[in-house]
Structure 1
Amino acid sequence: MTLDRGQLENILERLPSLTVGLIGDLFLDRYFEIDPDRTEVSIETGLDAYQVVRVRNQPGALGTVMNNLAALGVGRLVPITVIGEDGLGDDLIRALRSMPVEKTGILRSDTRLTPTYLKPLVMESDQPPRELNRLDVRSREPLSPKWRRRVSEELSRRFAEGDGWIVLDQIDQRDEGVLHAEVREALGNEARRHPEIPVIIDSRKHLGAYAYGSLKGNEHEFRLASGCDDVEEAVRRLGKRTGRPAFATCGARGICVAESDERVAWVPARPVTGPIDIVGAGDSATAALLCAILSGVDARTAAAFANLVASITIRQLGTTGTATPAQIRREWESAAV
């Protein structure tokens, strides 16, 4: 499926007027850049003490989707989430300052940790950054009834404001993230009450828990949720269940799309040469899919736009990449020559 110039411009021109709602797990990505030439030996332990020469903070998980939407030029972002009343949460809020974000739905709890990925990166000359073992910070118990109620109330109050919604269910353990069963039920009620508002749902482990919206995940996630080894059949089954298009990202093969009439199509990925970093590629595809759908294109054309955006973001090493309209136009033009 090709994306013609008129479709591309129609998508990009609509972005500044859009309001996108988001609900899910908002993380802080904190990068520690290590200079290996400065490594010292700890007197206390005898172990290497890596020397951090730069610290970078950026929003992660739901924040990566938000970062992609902001880079694309979406005019207004309305996230709903719960983070901690802690220093990491303060840093996360600061990291959102450059985005068109309404922060009233970012709820802060003194009983929760701000979810954080701590990412040590070894920076070597003429080499891509080398990531060491990641350290994960987050609460390990379900949201309390108080916070489930507050999230559900905020969702009910704000849902109709969004031209479309993105749901990011990042936590593997059921009900330990923002998308607790009670919140999923409230979300389903709003989606059914407003069928004209597109909802894209991206869940690592729990796609099968959603019976509404357009499901989006990688091929492994679709197989897990459907119990079917064949990715085309898995996508078709889950798309049939919700009655909406479904999208399985399949790396270099592209995106497998089940349309509303249960037809399945493959939208090829764009060829990319040189080093790549796929961290965040799925989130950039999620953002691009919703933006394209809100322009009125069909599911296959939306997938072609998502592939175009992802081909840009995966070439940005050592960070979760984004794509601007100018970059997207240049990439489209280079392929059209």
Structure 2
Amino acid sequence: MRLDRPQAESLLRRMEGCKVAVLGDVMLDEYLFGEVSRISPEAPVPIVRVVREQAVLGGAANVAANLKALGAEPLLMGTLQKDAAGDRLLGLLGRLGISISGLVLDPSRPTIIKTRVIGQQQQMLRIDREESGPPEAAVLMGLKDRLERALGEASALIVSDYAKGTVNEPVMEMVRDLCAARNLPWIVDPKPAHKTLYRGATLMTPNTKETTELTQRAAKSDAEVAEAGRSLMAELGLKGLLVTRSERGMALFAPDGAHTATPWMVPTEAREVFDVSGAGDTVIAAFSAAVAAGADWREAAMLANAAAGLVVAKVGTATVTPAELLAHYHEQEAN
């Protein structure tokens, strides 16, 4: 089962302008693109001659970029420092028209940077510059203030956790209380080390590896995914689960009679895979924006699946637009 073009067009129209809050670790993703023609005489490593550089939004900021590209209105919350990387990050957000009012300055830690070295269209190395850990008291208070304001406007909340410190127990206690009081869905892209922080979430979007780590169970076959998913939902009191399975598509556990215990298997729509960086950000953005616009979970999962299939065909952290999605559905109809 797939969305047809009129269904997709209607859903994308309803998503336009929907406010979706995003809480998580904000990062700058740098890409150094180069050519490789020889091995270094100093060590057995390739020499990359850099010919082009690119900086894009990463982490929770990339989720916000994906929401914006889809036509939704992201309310981004996180921390950064007023350093060179922070200034570049603010500039990128400004160019996309994403509000920075939910960001909190943290002078104690540098803005997170992930630098990827790409040679001959292959990622060869990643360099991370970060200091993880819980934020100081003043920064924590700032995050709570931004969270309360954002959830007064939003139709859904995304928690984009990279285990760098923004997502922590005091903040998540507030998320649970505010979302319960306002009947807001909150959807988590998890880090297994933070499993207990996600108790009571509306839905989580782990990949196969994360599902295995979260449950200590194999999660490769359909039967294994079903068993691991049921276990995780019961343990954390989740309403639903969307397991992304790379070339096997997705498995959706939804709070209806048919798909609570036995997931609905969504086949992949990816035809070419160049780079999976940020694909999880695209999935959670598309799914959450669709839910915020009133879509049922199966419609949201189908849209997210199509968006993921398009974004993995692009090199680097990328986004998908409504025009690209509609072209995809038009092509499906033609075939």
TM-score by length of 2: 0.88
Matched position secondary structure for 1:69: helix
Corresponding residue for residue 221 of structure 2? none
Corresponding residue for residue 130 of structure 1? 122
TM-score by length of 1: 0.88
**Relative to structure 1, is the Cα distance of residues 296 and 47 closer, same or farther in structure 2, using a 3 angstrom cutoff?**
closer
Shift of 1:208: 4.1
Corresponding residue for residue 256 of structure 1? 251
RMSD: 2.4
Corresponding residue for residue 226 of structure 2? 232
Is the Cα contact below 8 Å between 1:267 and 1:300 reproduced in 2?
Answer: no
* In structure 1, distance between residues paired with 2:230 and 2:97: 36
**Aligned residue identity for 2:301:** A
**Aligned residue identity for 1:104:** S
* In structure 2, distance between residues paired with 1:277 and 1:113: 27
Please tell me whether residue 186 in structure 1 is matched to residue 174 in structure 2: yes
Which deviates more, 30-39 or 19-28?
30-39
Corresponding residue for residue 22 of structure 1? 22
* In structure 1, distance between residues paired with 2:98 and 2:4: 31
Please tell me whether residue 221 in structure 1 is matched to residue 182 in structure 2: no
Please tell me whether residue 307 in structure 1 is matched to residue 305 in structure 2: yes
What 5-or-longer segments of structure 2 have no aligned partner?
Answer: 219-223
Counterparts of 1:149-188 in structure 2 under 5 Å? 149-171=141-163, 176-188=164-176
**Aligned residue identity for 1:302:** A
Structure 1 stretches (4+) deviating beyond 6 angstroms? 38-42, 45-49
Is the Cα contact below 8 Å between 1:169 and 1:204 reproduced in 2?
Answer: yes
* In structure 1, distance between residues paired with 2:44 and 2:273: 35
Matched position secondary structure for 1:257: strand
What 5-or-longer segments of structure 1 have no aligned partner?
Answer: none
**Relative to structure 1, is the Cα distance of residues 227 and 130 closer, same or farther in structure 2, using a 3 angstrom cutoff?**
closer
Is the Cα contact below 8 Å between 2:27 and 2:113 reproduced in 1?
Answer: yes
Matched position secondary structure for 2:314: coil
Matched position secondary structure for 2:29: strand
Matched position secondary structure for 1:133: strand
Matched position secondary structure for 1:239: helix
Is the Cα contact below 8 Å between 2:252 and 2:266 reproduced in 1?
Answer: no
* In structure 2, distance between residues paired with 1:213 and 1:333: 32
Corresponding residue for residue 148 of structure 1? 140
Shift of 1:110: 1.4
Shift of 1:305: 1.0
* In structure 1, distance between residues paired with 2:44 and 2:297: 57
* In structure 1, distance between residues paired with 2:303 and 2:112: 30
* In structure 1, distance between residues paired with 2:147 and 2:253: 28
Percent same amino acid at aligned positions? 26
Corresponding residue for residue 10 of structure 1? 10
Instruction: Give the count of matched residue pairs.
Output: 323
Please tell me whether residue 321 in structure 1 is matched to residue 332 in structure 2: no
Matched position secondary structure for 2:251: strand
Which deviates more, 6-15 or 53-62?
6-15
Is the Cα contact below 8 Å between 2:79 and 2:104 reproduced in 1?
Answer: yes
Corresponding residue for residue 106 of structure 2? 109
**Aligned with 2:92 (options 92, 95, 98):** 95
Shift of 1:228: 3.6
**Relative to structure 1, is the Cα distance of residues 102 and 271 closer, same or farther in structure 2, using a 3 angstrom cutoff?**
closer
**Relative to structure 1, is the Cα distance of residues 274 and 227 closer, same or farther in structure 2, using a 3 angstrom cutoff?**
closer
* In structure 2, distance between residues paired with 1:274 and 1:140: 35
**Aligned residue identity for 2:227:** E
**Relative to structure 1, is the Cα distance of residues 47 and 198 closer, same or farther in structure 2, using a 3 angstrom cutoff?**
closer
Matched position secondary structure for 1:52: strand
* In structure 2, distance between residues paired with 1:213 and 1:297: 15
**Aligned with 1:62 (options 60, 64, 78):** 60
Shift of 1:69: 1.2
* In structure 2, distance between residues paired with 1:272 and 1:187: 34
Matched position secondary structure for 1:264: coil
**Relative to structure 1, is the Cα distance of residues 288 and 48 closer, same or farther in structure 2, using a 3 angstrom cutoff?**
closer
